[in-house]
Chain A
């Protein structure tokens, strides 16, 4: 293709089974249809789909993508994605991180990996691409693997690797970048492990061109003003607390931290066991950013206890660790929770997915559905950090009772039997973040029906005051639709909002933008202007959103090939539809399946899908 600013114009394809490395041009029509990054990865996933094949078999296709904004100075232009059929649900899984922008500087927009190596290997991608022996790395945790590769190749390389969890194909396995940033959910680490692929090391000397540097520079300033300069106090909060901000209102009031496997609400005294002022004064040492992000919501922290006391580690989504271990498993105090986070990170597992599986096991034990004969003598109780850590190890190594938990929240309960699936709280296998009994927000609704395995299609709208103007200005919703939506935010308005929020989130992912709330403040017209100035391609917000609709449709088509039906979209965990949630003086009813189903029909209509089955209509452009 002719040189278009922002894109490298190339897709790197590697067949590990055939030991074949080749590049293909990024078709221009794909750019106009699917924008880039995640959109191109979905297109590749759909075109190479092998329906009903094992997600952990050689035919699954693992695709990394970085959109046109990645590698530029646009604030928040960091987000890269990885997609594959996920072993969690068997549908298309997605995960994202802000630390693999180096892919662009190696000269590729997307990296597609197929087949299965006949021995452990890693990929070295710089001016050349090599499949290298990883026999000496296999068995190492993610930190030691990264250190070993830095020692061998130099620290100019960005290292994305798996730990023992990925090698052993635990469905909670993540891919860890540079020791701290994670492609967390969806079990992408397990897919990498199934291919005998231990790591990908990237270092690039290529450049990214800009079609109209003058206009681009002006618009970067405008985006920086809207996302950073105009809200300095908000930025300081995001920088200081990072995602821990969700521990306080308004987000905490929507139930993201329900306690003990969603059997209770968070006790009022829990915040005192995790004092934020102590986190700031005694634990946090500095801020960590994703590429090109002026916020810095990740943390550099100091280890507090144990043989690593005094050492530093960087953590990305700390609230994920809080949610997985402190809220789900009732582990108390920063020290013990952070030790769980560290171990999880080293083993290469997602905090939330692993914490959810362990909380499920603890509840089964406490309810005497399982006992010591099931757990190889391990006594499971709430708040027992050492037992939680032992289960983390067992899951990563597929040993003991961890071998069952490593199968996830769909297969695991099937192996246990005894109606244990009642206590598996998930959305089609994926750990869930909010309690729908508290309030049904567009975020949560989208998460429940789509179960993509990442939060990025449901970006933190809970707790926001939604006005017609907001819907128009930031989501690009036409005025008449926005006016209708705000009149019924619990009914079709919520379904409509969910659809438009997903489209916006998808547009961000295709461009390569992070969705932290400050970045959401940038007007749609500014993003469109930046795209034009960077690429030289005429566009506007409407066109970018239309491409996002196509991306969403092709994702749906992939899942339909895998047999997805309305039943999958309407699955709600047993607990949420049968048990009340007692919250002090305020009780919450179980979720009404009837109301949820009605909302699903509204959502299908908003998407233009068949309102009964949710299939993508023929006329929908893919």
Chain B
């Protein structure tokens, strides 16, 4: 697995999940929407910002999530 080069700015995350939805749709063989198969995970976390954002281990840093982030939470 390549180390993801994508920078996460969780304080900008709006929790829309467009990153996770796009990740699963464009990267699964069956072209499905699946939060379980997405390699980026967004969950509530008030200790930092409102959301926590993490990559799963099979992330390939393809950048689909960056393309679908409208809030500047994911950048190269």
Contact = CB atoms under 8 A, between A and B. Distances in A.
Contact of B71 (A179, A217, A296, A312): A296
A207 B37 contact: yes
Given A288-B14, A293-B16, A296-B14, A210 B31 contact: yes
Interface in A69-95: 71-73
Interface string B4-24: 000000011011111001101
Given A178-B44, A300-B50, A291 B16 contact: yes
Interface string B55-76: 0000000000000101100000
A286 B49 contact: yes
B28 to A, nearest CB: 8
A288 B17 contact: no
A73 B25 contact: yes
Nearest to B11: A286
In this complex, the member of B15, B22, B49 whose beta carbon has the largest number of chain A beta carbons within 10 angstroms is: B15
A155 B50 contact: no
A286 B34 contact: no
B30 to A, nearest CB: 7
Interface residues on A, range: 20 to 34
A298 B31 CA distance: 30
A73 B34 contact: no
B33 A296 contact: no
Given A207-B36, A286-B12, A294-B16, A73 B22 contact: yes
B70 A312 contact: no
Contacts of A73: 18, 21-22, 25, 33, 68
Nearest to A99: B15
In this complex, the member of A72, A105, A208 whose beta carbon has the largest number of chain B beta carbons within 10 angstroms is: A208
A300 B11 CA distance: 10
Nearest to A154: B43
A573 interface: no
Contact of A156 (B14, B16, B43): B43
Contact of A155 (B36, B44, B71): B44
A294 B18 contact: yes
A105 B50 contact: no
A512 to B, nearest CB: 12
A364 to B, nearest CB: 40
A102 B17 CA distance: 11
A546 interface: no
A205 B24 CA distance: 12
B15 A105 contact: no
B35 interface: yes
Interface residues of B, number: 29
A213 B27 CA distance: 12
B33 A155 contact: no
A536 B23 CA distance: 22
A196 B28 CA distance: 41
A385 interface: no
Contact of B49 (A105, A289, A294, A300): A300
B14 A286 contact: yes
A289 B46 contact: no
A457 to B, nearest CB: 25
A292 interface: yes
A287 B36 contact: no
Interface in A198-220: 204-210, 213, 217
Given A73-B22, A73-B68, A300-B50, A105 B34 contact: yes
B15 A289 contact: yes
A290 B15 CA distance: 7
Nearest to B17: A291
A4 to B, nearest CB: 14
A207 B18 CA distance: 15
Given A105-B36, A207-B30, A312-B46, A290 B16 contact: yes
Contact of B25 (A155, A213, A228): A213
B50 A314 contact: yes
B50 A286 contact: yes
Nearest to A77: B21
Contacts of A178: 44
29 contacts: A71-B33, A72-B25, A73-B22, A73-B33, A155-B44, A155-B45, A156-B43, A178-B44, A205-B34, A205-B35, A207-B37, A209-B30, A210-B25, A210-B31, A213-B25, A217-B25, A286-B49, A287-B71, A288-B14, A289-B15, A289-B71, A290-B16, A292-B17, A292-B18, A292-B21, A293-B16, A294-B18, A296-B71, A312-B46
Interface of B: 11-12, 14-18, 21-22, 24-25, 28, 30-37, 43-46, 49-50, 68, 70-71
Given A289-B14, A296-B16, A300-B50, 20 more contacts: A72-B21, A72-B33, A105-B36, A155-B44, A206-B34, A207-B28, A209-B31, A210-B31, A210-B32, A213-B25, A286-B11, A286-B49, A287-B14, A288-B15, A290-B16, A291-B16, A292-B17, A296-B14, A312-B50, A314-B50
